[in-house]
Every structure is written in structure tokens, then in C-alpha cells.
Structure 1
């Protein structure tokens, strides 16, 4: 897909928004999870702290002692990960759990009115601890004592849980992103499917399988379909109008030409032969040019929308069969070497006109034979039509519009309008035509034109 692809743009936009949304959602979920884990850990530590305070006996000279052991046996295992400590700052005395061994926690200063204080402190063996400290006030015979009671636990397990949850969350969100992007791809494909169907219908119009695009499209695409159909209809009307105008002009000139022919006959009867010949020549030339324009108006105007497929061997053989029945063609040896599977990208009627003009010209000038061959050469069809007539000499060849064409002078017996029609047909269909001297001695017409695939069904006559 190119950068200008609508499908790519829609997919890229959807993917960006999906990723951004999942990143925000993932970050929010991670923060909520961390907060929930921290609060649960703090709630557990707060409960342990309450049990520790309840078990303290602060009376006497000792800093404190427990009247009963705490229920969690890990307090008795060195470096187990959970710890307690009671500090009497006034007497500089400290009592701690066996799990702390000889390590002394260093919580921050706190006051009884401040309640529980949460902080992160250093622990034994390089551990990082979450600590909860309470300044508890006790009354004894000598007055009141303030004991800083601390419970702490290693954050390694907590941090490992958070990291594992982050990994699992990232994996889940990655899978969700992939699923959502696939769903977006399916949605975009479904949304653009009418455009693919529209392309297929336009292709049918190009191949002359349909005259217009079907109307069964969603409301969003229907205006485009209507515009395409209007353009097709306008183009067809324009072509038909041009053909009618050319036909009307030709028929309108026939009556004046008939009058001129009558005038020529009258001049000849009165003995003015010179003027009669002049009028007859002008009348014949005008009639030929009118015929030329009429034949041009019947040619199929090609656009990039049109794709044709005409059987070259069939039309060549049919044209040759017709010419063999004429005085010029019946005396000739017709050599046709064309593969039966060759199809050319040209309107069938235009191909009939092209082969008719060129084969008729070859038959008129050939002495004994006409050769027609065609082959597929690297993406184009090369057609050659050669005769063994006197051909066109170098001085009778001239270039017109970038193409080499034979000039038919008076001594050649023609005005070249048929050859001009052939050239127009070839150029109209995106091909090229060249006129050179044939190995047989006559004229060699070389045509290069695009190939076409064989139609699924035989073309109608």
C-alpha cells in the first residue's frame, strides 16, 4: 500500500488511537493496582502494629517487652523480611524482633498526635523496607512514656508482584491491541468494500461488459456512482453527436456534389473537356475526403477506460477471403502466418477497417503474393503486411506527425486516404505504424499494438 492509500491512512489512524488509548488505560490500571497493593500492605502492617502495641508491657526499667509473642513466626527468623522495633527515645533503649538480629531501624521522628507514619527505610542485608511507625504514649508510676513502635516488611515481594503484574498487563494489552487492530482492519475493509466493487463495475465498463455502473451502492458512495454514470452517458452522447454531425455534413454535401457532376457532364457535352475534367477531379477528391471523414467518425474513440479484445487471425483471414473474390485478390498467393491465440487490444470494427484498408492496398499493388504475419514480442503484437509490388521509393516516403507514410502521387494511382485512415486507427489505439520497403520488393507495413487476453466467450459477429 502506498502512502496515499485510504486504507493505509484509516488503519494507521485507528492503530495510533488504539495504542494511545491502551497506553492510557494500561497506565491507569497499573497505578490503581500499585495503589491498591500499597494500601493492602499498609493495612496489614497497621493490623500488625496494633497487635504489637497491645502486646507491649512498658513498665519497669526495660524499654519494653511483650507479654505474649506475636502470632507470625517469621518475627523469630533472622532476616525473614518482616520486623518490629520498639524505641524509648527518652531512655535511649531499643527492643526489636529476633528477625532484625543486630540491625537497628532508623525511622523518622514522630509525635503521638501524628498517628501512624508510613515511610521507606533501609533494612538488614541491604533490604528496602516499608515501615509503619506509631508514637504510643504509656503511663507508669514515674509519669508517661512515649515509645516509637515500628513494624516493617521487605518491599522485594511487593515490588516483584508489581513488576509481574506490569508484565502480565503489558502482554494482555498487547494482545488486545493486536485484536483491536485486526478488528479495525476488518472494519476498514468492510467499509471500503463498496469502492472495490465500484472498481470492478468500472472494469466491466472498460471491457464493454456493461454500459454503466450498477446503482446498488451505499448512500455515501451513490453520489460518486451517479457522477461516473453521468460522465459515461455524457461521453457517449458527445461521440454520438459528433458522428451524427459528420454524417449530416456528408449527406448535406452529396447534393452539391451531384450537381457538380451534372455540370461536368454538361461541360463535356458542350466540348469544354478541360473544365469538365477539372470539375470531375475536384468532385472526386471532395467525395473521397467526405468518405474519409465519414470513416473516421465511425472509429471507436479510445480512452483509458476502454479495454478491447479482437481476434487478429480471424479478422485477417476473413478479410483475405473477401479480397480473394475480387479481381485484384483472386490472382494472388496469400501467405498468412498468425497464431490462432493472438488477440489485440482494439475495437473489433476498427480492426476490420484497419485490415481491410491495408490488405486492399496490398492486393491492389502486389504482383503475385501478399504476406501477413504477426507475433507476440515482449508485451506487444508485431504485425507485418508486405507485397511484392513496385513499392514506395525513398522519394515517395515522407514523415507526417512523427510517422513514416507513403505518398500516393498521380502516377501511383491513389491519394493515400486509406493509408491515412489506417494510421489514425493505429494511433487512436495507442500503437505505432511504419512504412518501409519489403524484402519482396513492395511496401512493408509494420504495426505494433498492445495484446489482449482472450475473452471468456466468443465475440458476436
Structure 2
């Protein structure tokens, strides 16, 4: 399972998860601490009330218990509240017991000392359910009331439901406050993360400007943490540019060194007898075409990875079409190009591929040639999608000539393959087109055209100016 691909989403998700976990732990800890504090305070209250009752009771006339405890809480006067005080004589002390008005004639069960023993202060606390269904906590002790050893059991009960309600109210307030704080923290964290990652977004936009050809290096102010990355990218671009320049220089040197020997061979071929001269001339021309083809492939391979290679399509194709119209005044050439189309190719490669297709179409058409360039839906069939965002252009050249038979379409792009020996040519044009398209990771396909002739389709990498 993979995480989010966006760095912003990943950091925001981790910050949200951590904040949520921290708030849950904080809520549980605070709630537990408050419960402990509430229970301790409840126990202390009952203990204080218990000793208030003890101090308010004595043995009066007739050896009866006398006293009227006033605990300052109306709940001890109201029935069925769960707040009671009870005084019961012990042993041979036969006085009548006393209890708060809230208890009425009901009684509260007393557990045995074995089950709930007294503590070192001779107190014990135990929960019970009263006759009215209230959960109460009882504080109990036994006190000797006079010098004759007469004693009584004193008990004070408090309603645990009141304490639980108080704890529940506190928890609700706590959870609401933490939720509000968590949402506020999420907004603040999101803003801080977006603000902190702005330099990376600026670097991305700077790279897009380079890819579109609007800049040659990353420029702008970047923080100390991002600056090493920017410097490395600029160094990589500069190294790439030097490699391309060096490859172009070597290609030019090789082409220049081979140009003179091939020209000498062609001149010598013209001075020989017809049969031998024609053979030597054709072989020299084939050598020349082969050398040019491999030089082109070497040049393309050297600069294919450059982020600065691009060609505006419309002016290049308009120029090619003007040349073809002058060379073939009896033919009609129709051009349709999507506005703003840019190919990620060298201009001379665009000219060579499309020029070969136009020349081939003009040679075999009856009345006209149609050239169309439009955006394509995806990469060539069988090719994986690029890890970078890449778009494609479809270049289509059609004619209304005789075309090719289905069995000939696959053979036409093979080097040196010709189907009409009556016309001039070396049979290399379509193979060169196919090779150049392949070097740019594109594709080249021949089909029957609806106009009756041949339909040549090039799928080539492009650069869009509308980068999201």
C-alpha cells in the first residue's frame, strides 16, 4: 500500500494523524485526572459531612440520641435524593436511631466488616443502591459517645449519580473544546505547511518555465534548505547543454570529414563507363544516406534527454508547404495545425520527417496532399506512460494517389525497400522517418487513406504551454 503522492498531502496527513492522536490521548488523560479529582473531592465531602453529623449528636435526656445536624444542603431534607445521614446505636445502647428526612422510613444495607474493612482512620467507604434506585457512596465510622462506653454507628451517603453527571458535563465541555482546538490546529497546520512548501512550488514552476523554453535555468530566491537542490538542477542543465553541444560538434566534424571522400567517389563515378559509374554512384549515394541517417540518430540520442529541445510546429510546416507548392505547382497542399502546437524535437528533425512524408505524398498523389497536426490522446501503443507529464501530437499526411496494398504497408518502412522503380529515390525516406520517430519515443504508421491514397501517421512528443 502506498501513501499519498503529494508531499503537501503527506505532511498534512501525518500532522493531522499526530494531532488527532495527541488530542485523543490528552482527552483521555484529562478526563481520567478529573474523575480521580472528582471522586477524591466527593469522598472528602462525605467525610466532612460525616464529622459534622458526629459533632452535632450527643446522648440526651432519657438516654436517647439527641441532635439535629444541619449540613447546609437541602438535599438532606428532600426525599429520595440519595443524600442521607443515619445514626444507629451499637451494642447495649438501646436508643432509637436518627436519620435525615430525605431517607424517610427506608433503610440502607450495611455490608459486613469482613467484606469492607475499616481503614487506619477507622473509616470505611462503600457503594450501595438505596431503596429508590440511587447509586450512593456511604461514609461510615463508629464513635463512643460518653464515658460509659455507649457508641453509635454514623453514616453519611451521597448520590454517585450527581458526581457522574458532573463528570459527564465536564467531559462534554472538554471534548467540544478539544474538537474546536483540533479543527483550528488543522487549519493553522495546513496554512503553515502550505506556506513552508511554497519554495518547492516555486521550484516546480521554474522547472515548468524551463520545460516550456521560457527560461534556461532555475532562477529566483530559494531558502537555504532548497538551494542545494536548485544548484544541482542548474548544474545538471548546464552539463546537459555541454553534452549536447559536444555531440553536435562531433557530428558536424564527422559529417565534414566524410563529405569530401563521398564527393570524390561521386565525381569518379561520373567519369566511369555507364554501367560501372551507375553502380558506383548508387552505392556512394546509399553510403551518403546511411552516414547521414546514423549521424542523425547519434545527434538525436545526444540531445533527446534535453529539457530545452522544442520546435514551434506551425511556422516550420508552413515553410515546408510553401517549398512543396513551388516545386509542385500542379499539386494542391492543404495544411491544418492546432494553435500553439509545440514539438519536443529539434527543428531539423521535424523538417526531415515531415518533409520526407510530404515529398513522398507529392510524388504519388493525383491532385493534392493533406497535412494535419492535432493533439493526440496518449502515448504510442505498447509504450508505458511517462513518469513526467508528457503530451503528444499526431501528424497526419494523406494523399489521393494509388496508395499501397495491405501486404506492402509493413514493408514500406524497411531500409532501401521500393515498390516503384520507375520513379527516382533510394527507398530510404520512410525508414528515416520511422527511425527518427522511434528515437523520440514516438511511432510511425502507414494506412490506407479515405481519400484513396496513403495515410502516414506520426505520433510525436509535444510540449503544452498550459501546465496545470
- Residue in 2 that maps onto 1:121: 128
Q: Deviations over 1:59-90 (max 9, x none)?
A: 45545120675554543333243211111121
Query: Does the CA-based 8 Å contact 2:334-2:369 persist in structure 1?
Result: yes
Give 1:415 deviation, angstroms: 0.5
Give the secondary structure class of the aligned counterpart of 2:194: helix
1:36-185, aligned counterparts within 5 Å? 36-59=37-60, 61-66=62-67, 71-90=72-91, 91=93, 93=95, 94-107=97-110, 109=113, 114-140=121-147, 143-185=148-190
Q: CA deviation at 1:162?
A: 0.8
Task: Report how far residue 409 of structure 1 moved.
Answer: 6.4
Measured after TM superposition, the shift of residue 318 of structure 1 is 2.6
The Cα shift of 1:101 comes to 0.8
1:395, 1:378 → 2: CA distance?
27
1:336 aligns with 2:334: yes
Q: Deviations over 1:137-166 (max 9, x none)?
A: 2224xx122222112222222211111111
Gaps of at least 5 residues in structure 2 are 378-392
2-structure distance, mates of 1:294, 1:133: 105
Q: How big is each residue's C-alpha offset from its partner over 1:191-241, in whole Å with a ceiling of 9 and x where there is no partner? A: 433333333232223222222333643333334334433443333333333
Q: Map of 1:28-39 to 2, 5 A cutoff?
A: 28-39=29-40
Of the structure 1 ranges 300-309 and 378-387, higher mean CA displacement relative to structure 2 is found in 300-309
Match of 2:433?
422
Q: Report the TM-score, using the length of structure 2 for normalisation.
A: 0.79
Partner secondary structure for residue 212 of structure 1:
coil
Question: Aligned equivalents of 1:129 and 1:417: distance in 2?
Answer: 102
Q: CA separation in 2, counterparts of 1:427 and 1:156?
A: 81
In structure 2, relative to structure 1, the CA distance for the partners of 1:62 and 1:130 (3 Å cut) is: farther
**Cα deviations by residue, 1:109-148 (Å, 9 ceiling, x for unpaired):** 47797344333233231112122223222224xx122222
Distance 1:12 1:87, change over 3 A: same
Q: What is the aligned counterpart of 1:193 among 195, 198, 223?
A: 198
1:289 aligns with 2:290: yes
Cα distance change, pair 248–101 in 1 and its aligned pair in 2 (3 A):
same
Matches of 2:421 and 2:64 in 1, distance apart? 138
> Distance in 1 between the 2:394 and 2:324 partners?
24
Q: How far apart are residue 414 of structure 1 and its match?
A: 0.8
Aligned to 1:323: 324
8 A contact 2:251–2:299 mirrored in 1? no
CA offsets per residue over residues 313-358 of structure 1, 9 Å max, x none?
x4443322223333xx23x131415266373645371333333333
SS in structure 2 at match of 1:51: helix
Partner of 1:260: 265
Bigger drift between 431-440 and 332-341 goes to 431-440
Q: Does 1:407 align with 2:414?
A: no
CA distance in 2, matches of 1:347, 1:111: 94
**SS of residue paired to 1:324:** helix
- Unpaired segments ≥5 residues, structure 1: 457-461
Displacement after TM superposition at 1:251 (Å): 1.1
Deviation at 1:28, TM superposition (A): 2.1
Other-structure match for 1:459: none
- With 174-183 and 64-73 compared, the bigger mean Cα shift is at 64-73
What is the aligned partner in structure 2 of residue 358 from structure 1?
Answer: 357
Q: Tell whether the 8 Å contact from 2:90 to 2:150 is kept in structure 1 after alignment.
A: no
Q: What corresponds to 2:21 in structure 1?
A: 20
Equivalences, count: 442
Q: 1:315 to 1:56 in 2, by over 3 A?
A: same
Q: Counterparts of 1:406 and 1:278 in 2: how far apart (Å)?
A: 17
Cα RMSD for the two superposed structures:
3.8
- CA shift, 1:305, in A, is 5.5
Residue deviations 1:277-325, cap 9 Å, x none? 444443333334334445555658545957856344x444332222333
| TM-score calculated relative to the size of structure 1 | 0.80
CA contact (8 A) 1:310 1:346 kept: no
Distance in 2 between residues matched to 1:114 and 1:383, nearest whole Å: 101
CA–CA distance in 1 between the matches of 2:355 and 2:216? 28
1:3 alignment partner, SS class? coil
